[in-house]
Each structure stands twice: as C-alpha cells, then as structure tokens.
Amino acid sequence: MQLYYSASSPFVRKCLVSAQELGLRERIELLPAAPHPVNRDAAVVARNPLGKIPTLVTDDGATLYDSRVICEYLNSLGDGHLLAATGAARWSALTLQALADGIMDAAVLTRYENAARPENLRWVAWVDGQLAKVHGGLAELERQAQGFGTRVDIGTIALGCALGYLDFRYASLGWRERHPLTAAWFAQFAQRESMQATAPPAA
C-alpha cells in the first residue's frame, strides 16, 4: 500500500497510528505530499480529485480517501479491534472520532487562514468561529474524559491525534489548564508506541 502523507497532518497521523495498532504499518509506503488549498499537489490530485491527504492506494490499485475511510479499510485488513462491527461500542467510537475530527478540521482551517492567506485578507471573526469549535469540542471531551479509560479504538486514536495537533500548532491555547481530565488521559495515551512513532516534527 502507498499513502500520500505529510508528517504534520493530524489526519495522516490518525491513519498511521491505526496502522501501527493493527500491525500493518510495515505494509505502507509513505509518499511525501505537499497539499495546499491553492497550490495543489498534482501527484495527489492525480489520485484524489480533492487533492487532499491522506490518500491511500491499496495493493490492488484502488484509491481510498479520507482518513475515516482509510482507517476503516485498515481495520478490515487487521483484526478489527479499532471499530466494532455493531452495537454501542461502534457508535461511541464513531461519534468520538467525529468530535475529534471536527476539532482537527477547525484547527487546520485556522492554520490555513493564518499561514496561507495573505495577511490583508485574513478574516479574524472567521478564525474566532473556528477556534470556538475547538474550545467547544474540548469542553465536551472534558465531560467525557473520565470514561475513556484504557480504550484504544478509532475514537480515542482520533482524539489523541487532535490533541497532539493542538500541541503542535496551538501551544498558546493552553488547553491542559482548562481541561485537566482530558490532559491526564492524553498524558497516558500519548505514551503509546504508535503515538510516539508518529509524533509531528518540531513546530
């Protein structure tokens, strides 16, 4: 398999953590990509018309995107423990993944606004709106954090990647001080081998 990736993408990281937890990491070849909302990477666009990463090319030549689809595919290749086929555990994991993905979406969009858009065109109110989603998501996670325990599923993996991205790009948010239960959970989860192996580069 081949994965178009950037080491700084939390969505790519979610796929790589999942692959490692499933024992599939050695089967994936990483293809460096340079996604951008304006200057799109032609190599990625050739496989994915959206030009976004992660994009996975399977061993039989099929192309899969986005991270949710890729992670479910990897789960099907592995032992399936990251996402139950049915029942309450499945819906809990998928809903937590959606919440974490929403935090990542808002944080990445804010990053693009501040780093890719010309300074004179930046929309402060829009940035504030995206960061409000981040703060709202963190508040909900804090309400749930004591129930995460030692869970390792697609929901907690997505959550770990979301929090790691906030550390990487938004250290000034100081999210730990306002969300100590979430911080305590993350301190343990971040020690997993899969998380250590996929940490983003120094900001």
Domains and CATH numbers, the chain: 2-77 (3.40.30.10), 88-195 (1.20.1050.10)
| C-alpha pair distances (Å), 127 with each of 28, 90, 107, 133, 197 | 35, 33, 9, 10, 31
pLDDT at 127: 93
Would you state the pLDDT for residue 12? 98
Q: Could you tell me if 150 and 79 are in contact, meaning their C-beta atoms sit under 8 angstroms apart? A: no
CA distance 91 to 127: 31
Residue with tokens 């930046």: 122
Whether the CA torsion 59, 16, 82, 194 is positive or negative: it is: positive
Residues 6+ apart with CB under 8 A from 192: 17, 21, 152, 160
At 117 the pLDDT is 84
SS3 57: strand
CA distance 151 to 133: 24
CB within 8 A of 193, min separation 6: which ones?
20
Mean pLDDT, consecutive 10-residue stretches, the chain (203 aa), reads 96 98 98 89 95 97 97 96 94 98 97 88 93 98 96 98 97 95 98 97 74
Query: Which pLDDT does position 6 carry in this prediction?
Result: 95
